[in-house]
């Protein structure tokens, strides 16, 4: 009776013309099966079948078929390629982080595959995508850059001196800088310089070390040491890379830091002046004149000293 009911249902769903029905009863499994979607006789046939579905852009069903290959032929020569295409299917389906995990399995499980370079390139693209990605959580945009950092670090671990390693290290630092974590960013930029000194990113990293030190000096917990470090790093960069395009920007940053420090000292001098500690004020005004002669604050300091002398306060 049960078989009769099942057969009736199959005929119903297939339509009146049973010539288009692909379902068949299997006495062995006691189930109806569809030969079109059953595992193929060899791993090679299964791979070609799955790829044909992928080519038709039916990513969900292609994903099923690649996974079917791994289930039935886990030790086959086609297994690494199937795992790679699982990552591609997930990527196409916008399941981005799981796509990365699938790609990484190619390296973790099949160390001798010729897909490693392709995997690293795909992982890098995913990291780039996640660097600026955000998801909605409780009505807020939550950044996904921490996933990107994790992937970049894995790329470096997979191939420490591969063609994407130095750029991945640089991108980690850039993400942290953009997130406002200047201390950690500076550490990561320094890794580019120390680990990949001959890479094309080493020069830019040196500039960014100075930049992050400069940005640190702008934070509420202002640290004069950070400002001094920034100036020193910028000056070193200009000295060692005089022809670099970034040197012009570095020189502008030096001027900005100089003016910022001169302004700070000027305010200290004004404070002493208001407290009628005129000699202390003069020391700071004179320090601005000698220490920052090219700054607009040097001119202001000279005028202040002249005023104090005219008023008989010095």
Task: Tell me which long-range contacts 94-103 makes (C-beta under 8 A, separation of at least 24).
Answer: 96/126, 96/129, 96/130, 96/133, 97/126, 97/130, 97/144, 97/147, 99/126, 100/126, 100/127, 100/147, 100/151
- Residues 124 and 301: their CA atoms lie apart, in Å, by 53
Residue 31 lies in a domain: yes
Domain span including residue 219 = 160-241
More confident call, 15 vs 92: 92
Give yes or no for a contact between 136 and 94, defined as CB atoms under 8 angstroms apart.
no
The number of distinct structural domains making up the chain is 4
Give yes or no for a contact between 24 and 35, defined as CB atoms under 8 angstroms apart.
yes
Residue 45 has a pLDDT of 96
Give yes or no for a contact between 279 and 308, defined as CB atoms under 8 angstroms apart.
no
More confident call, 30 vs 110: 110
237-264: per-residue pLDDT in tens?
Answer: 766 776 666 677 767 766 777 777 777 7
Residues 32 and 57 in one domain: no
Residue 7 has a pLDDT of 52
Residues 34 and 120 in one domain: no
Element at 198 (helix H, strand E): none
What are the structure tokens assigned to 72, written together? 């039935």
Does pLDDT of 33 surpass 50?
A: no
Residues 291 and 236 in one domain: no
Residue 208 lies in a domain: yes
Number of H helices, E strands in the chain: 14, 4
77-120: per-residue pLDDT in tens?
Answer: 999 999 999 999 999 999 999 999 999 999 999 988 999 999 99
């Amino acid at each position: 009776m049960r078989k009769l009911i099942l057969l009736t249902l199959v005929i119903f769903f297939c339509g009146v013309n049973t010539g288009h029905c692909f379902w068949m009863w299997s006495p062995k499994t006691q189930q109806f099966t569809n030969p079109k979607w059953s595992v193929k006789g060899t791993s090679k046939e299964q791979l070609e079948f799955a790829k044909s579905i992928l080519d038709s852009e039916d990513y969900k069903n292609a994903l099923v078929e690649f996974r079917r290959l791994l289930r039935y032929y886990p030790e086959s020569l086609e297994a690494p390629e199937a795992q790679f295409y699982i990552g591609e299917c997930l990527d196409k389906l916008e399941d981005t982080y799981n796509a990365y995990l699938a790609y990484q399995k190619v390296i973790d499980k099949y160390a001798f595959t010729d897909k490693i370079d392709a995997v690293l390139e795909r992982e890098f693209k995913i990291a780039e995508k996640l660097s600026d990605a955000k998801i909605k959580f409780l009505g807020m945009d939550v950044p996904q850059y921490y996933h990107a950092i994790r992937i970049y670090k894995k790329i470096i671990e997979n191939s420490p001196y591969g063609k994407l390693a130095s750029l991945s290290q640089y991108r980690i630092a850039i993400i942290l800088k953009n997130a406002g974590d200047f201390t950690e960013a500076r550490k990561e930029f320094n890794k580019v310089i120390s680990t990949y000194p001959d890479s094309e990113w080493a020069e830019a990293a040196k500039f960014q070390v100075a930049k992050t030190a400069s940005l640190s000096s702008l934070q509420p917990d202002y640290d004069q040491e950070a400002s001094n470090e920034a100036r020193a790093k910028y000056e070193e960069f200009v000295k060692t890379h005089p022809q670099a395009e970034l040197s012009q920007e570095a020189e502008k940053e030096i001027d900005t830091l100089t003016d910022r420090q001169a302004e700070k000292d000027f305010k200290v001098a004004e404070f002493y002046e208001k407290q009628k500690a005129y000699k202390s004020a003069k020391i700071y005004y004179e320090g601005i004149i000698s220490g920052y002669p090219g700054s607009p604050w040097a001119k202001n300091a000279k005028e202040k000293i002249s005023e104090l002398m005219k008023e008989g306060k010095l």
